[in-house]
Structure 1
Amino acid sequence: MPSVQCPACGERAFARSTTGKATPLYREIYYHCRDAVHCGSIFVVAMETLRATVASRVPAPMIALPMTSWRHADNDRAANDDGPPTEPVADAMTS
C-alpha cells in the first residue's frame, strides 16, 4: 500500500484494512496514524483506478479504462545528459 501522511498531525500512517466497498476500480482503505500515543487518528483513503497508459494484454471484458499516452516533460533529458551524473562538489554542498 502507498504511504500517506496523517491529515491531523502529518506523521506517516499505515494501511490497516479495507472495506467491503471494493470494485475492480475502487477501494476504501483504513489508515492508522503511526503516532498512536499523541494523535491516534484513523481515517479512510479512497483508491481509484483512473486511466491506463499502456493497454493490457489480457483486458477484462466488462472494464473499459480511458487510454492516455505518457507525456515526457520538456526537461526530461537535457541535451548534455548522455552520461552518468557527476559527483557533487564539496564546496557546493556547504554553501
Structure 2
Amino acid sequence: MASVDCPCCGQRAFARQIGKRTLLYREVYYHCRDVRDCGHEFVVGISALRTTRASRWPKPLETLPMTTWRGAANDRAANDDDPPSEPNADMLTS
C-alpha cells in the first residue's frame, strides 16, 4: 500500500485492513504509528480516475475517461538525437 501520513500529527500511518472494494474503488483503513500520543485511525479511499493507456480486454461496464499523456518539456523519444527545437514566439510569455 502507498505510504500515508497521519492527517492529525504528520507521523507515518500504516495500512491495517482493506474495506469496501469494487473494480474502480477501494477503502484502506490506516492507523497512526504514534499510538501513544496520537492514536488516530482513518480511512483512505483509492479510486481509479482515468485511463492513460487503453486495455486490450476492456470491461464494457467499467470504463474510465481516456486522457492523453503529455511529456515534460525535456522529455524526448529514445531515438531523438537532434537538439530540441527553438520555441515559437507564441509559446513565450512575458
Could you state the TM-score of these two structures normalised by the residue count of structure 1?
0.72
Measured on the aligned residues, the alpha-carbon RMSD in Å equals 1.6
Identity %: 62
* Structure 2: stretches of 5+ with no match in the other structure: 82-94
* Structure 1: stretches of 5+ with no match in the other structure: 83-95
The residue aligned with 1:56 is 55
The 3-state SS of whatever aligns with 2:21 is: coil
The residue aligned with 1:91 is none
* 1:2-47 residue CA offsets vs partner (Å, 9 max, x unmatched): 001000100111111122x321111111001111121111001110
Could you state the TM-score of these two structures normalised by the residue count of structure 2?
0.73
Q: Using the alignment, how far apart are the partners of 1:67 and 1:30 within structure 2?
A: 29
Q: Number of residues paired by the alignment?
A: 77
